[in-house]
Amino acid sequence: MYESGADILELGVPFSDPTADGPVIQRSSARALKAGIHLADVLEMTRRIRQISDVPIILFSYYNPIMAYGVEKFYKDSVSAGADGVLVVDLPPEESEELTGEWKDDAFCLIRLVAPTTPEDRMRTIAANSSGFLYMVSMTGVTGSGGLDTTETGQYVEKLRQVTELPICVGFGISTPSDVSAVSAVADGAVIGSAFESTIEDNLDNPDLPAIIGKQTAAYKDATR
């Protein structure tokens, strides 16, 4: 993916109850858990990628796997592996001190989500406790749950820009190059998850899967130009 133009890699930590994710990513997480993949394995994958590429790597996790692993150990091992930050989807700012209190490196980012229903004062709180970039959820619901309304997305992004200078990336509902093109016109990045997972699910036994994913990535990248 990074060889085909992905600017950032998001590595998901499998979890048994991924409530923010739709059916496609839920099935992906279940397959990974069945195969014995856990947080330590994702960190090892991060380490291997870092040995051959300097592409930024963001870990995506629910808080339970991090807590079970140990928050201090998670931070140290993530930095050691070469991760650039983490998005903990179910950890609000008010409950983050246990995690971030151990952090000694300002370069390790904590990415946070902002939803269309987030009030402005809440946006300010979230933005003030974020680093790296803000993840703007394009719609209510779970990942992969519907189409993208580009007009509303542009309005959400503009509203968020009034309260932060952080880059804004948009995710949820982005599946086609035209979606990426529309998002790129109003935001700083497009986050794509379920579309890739669908491709993987449809090609689990296909030896050409890496090439297929590379072609899909390149098409998305071309749409940003």
The continuous run of DSSP H or E covering 121 comes out as: helix 120-128
Q: Residue with structure tokens 């998901």?
A: 12
Residue 29: closest CA among 12, 53, 43, 44: 12
Any catalytic annotation for residue 222?
no
Whole-angstrom distance, CA of residue 18 vs CA of residue 46: 21
Active-site residue identified among 3, 7, 10, 17: 10
Contacts of 14 (CB under 8 A, 6+ apart): 29, 30, 32, 33, 37, 38, 42, 65
Amino acid at 54: D
Any catalytic annotation for residue 10?
yes
Active-site residue identified among 21, 77, 84, 179: 21
Whole-angstrom distance, CA of residue 106 vs CA of residue 85: 10
- Cα-based distances in Å from 88 to 37, 70, 110: 18, 14, 8
Number of neighbouring beta carbons within 10 Å of residue 150? 18
Catalytic residues: 10, 21
